[in-house]
Amino acid sequence: MAPTSRGLARRIARLAGVEAARAVAEFGPGTGAITREILSALPGDGRLWAFEVHAPFVDHLRATIDDRRLDVVAESAEAIAGLRERENLPGFDAIVSAVPFSLMDPARTTEILRAAAQALRPNGVFVALQYHPRYLAPLLSAEFAVVRREVYLWNIPPARLLRAQNPPRAE
Ligand SMILES: C[S@@+](CC[C@H](N)C(=O)[O-])C[C@H]1O[C@@H](n2cnc3c(N)ncnc32)[C@H](O)[C@@H]1O
């Protein structure tokens, strides 16, 4: 799969609202196409933790993106729970994912989505880039109360963007 185009990466950063975020996580940064657009929109005091399991991509990201706001985490996405605890974060404002969930079994996908939902602050935003038209939406709806979808047509193949949120719980 070719790296995500700049236009699509910008749209993802916009949907996630990273321009007003302090704590952002990215799942599956690969060679950093979306990472760079997140960093270009992120405020100066914002931070981005990028979780990547493929060691050559981890090395590439560390060697090519020199930005004190970025931490490349050489762990799988669900390690976000431990990172949040270690960093003592109240909750992420946004999580952006390009992990190819449709190649995983649904139980593993659910494990990652649940970890994401629990790591977000109330009303924090989860944005997933997918190419499979149907796989993710029902699994996402099981973990998030509000799920919106859009198709980004200026890409071959058209990309599916899913944006999910959980509103604050009533006391
Ligand atoms: C399709 S690539 C996307 C790369 C880049 N974000 C882009 O959009 O061009 C998916 C990436 O997800 C990574 N990945 C797969 N499973 C993962 C997991 N459980 N946790 C974190 N990253 C994962 C892969 O190693 C790969 O770099």
18-34 pLDDT, tens digit per residue, is 999 999 999 999 999 99
Instruction: Report yes or no on whether pTM surpasses 0.85.
Output: yes
Q: Which of 49, 54, 64 for a ligand 1 pocket mutation test, highest count of atoms within 8 Å of Cβ?
A: 54
Look up tokens 């405020």; give the residue: 43
pLDDT in tens, 117-127: 999 999 999 99
Domains and CATH numbers, the chain: 6-165 (3.40.50.150)
| Cβ of 77 below 6 Å from ligand 1 | yes
| Cβ of 100 below 6 Å from ligand 1 | yes
Buried-exposed string 1-16: b where 16+ CB fall within 10 A, e elsewhere: eeebeeebbbbbbebb
